[in-house]
Amino acid sequence: MSLEEKINQLSFQMELLLGAVDWSERPFEHEVLKANLTRQEVVAFFALLDDIRERQNEQMRYGLSSVEPLLVHFVGMLHPHLEAETILAACVRQGMALDVTEPLYRQVKLLY
């Protein structure tokens, strides 16, 4: 079996597994797998959440509370294979970085 055939076989098997597993408890991982993200891209996603948290804290220090600029930054820096509303909903459902993801998710729901 050639390398290309092996890759195609693994891809097919991954598709089958994605459909066979109950992802209700792990929606973030499901979105990562669907988007076919690499480890580095997932690390970059969490770094983006940290960056948003820092910006959020800075805004709070100056008495600002607007989520829109944070959402614009998040969407602009988000991996192109991910949709903002879907990945934020997955993070909220899984309880991930709620201090950042909940306000962003509430705001994105208002816009879409």
Task: Specify the pTM.
Answer: 0.87
Residue 72 lies in a domain: yes
Overall domain count for the chain: 1
Residue 14 lies in a domain: no
Q: Please give the residue range of the domain that contains residue 39.
A: 25-110
Q: Per residue of the chain (112 residues), give pLDDT as tens.
A: 899 999 999 889 988 888 888 889 999 999 999 999 999 999 999 999 999 999 999 998 998 888 999 999 999 999 999 999 999 999 999 999 999 999 999 999 998 7
Residue 91, domain CATH = 1.10.3750.10
Residue 11 lies in a domain: no
Residue 54 lies in a domain: yes
Predicted confidence at residue 112, as pLDDT, reads 72
Residue 90 lies in a domain: yes
Residue 75 lies in a domain: yes
Residue 12 lies in a domain: no
DSSP string of 1-43?
Answer: --HHHHHHHHHHHHHHHHHHS--TT-HHHHHHHHHT--HHHHH
Cα–Cα dist 44/48, whole Å:
6
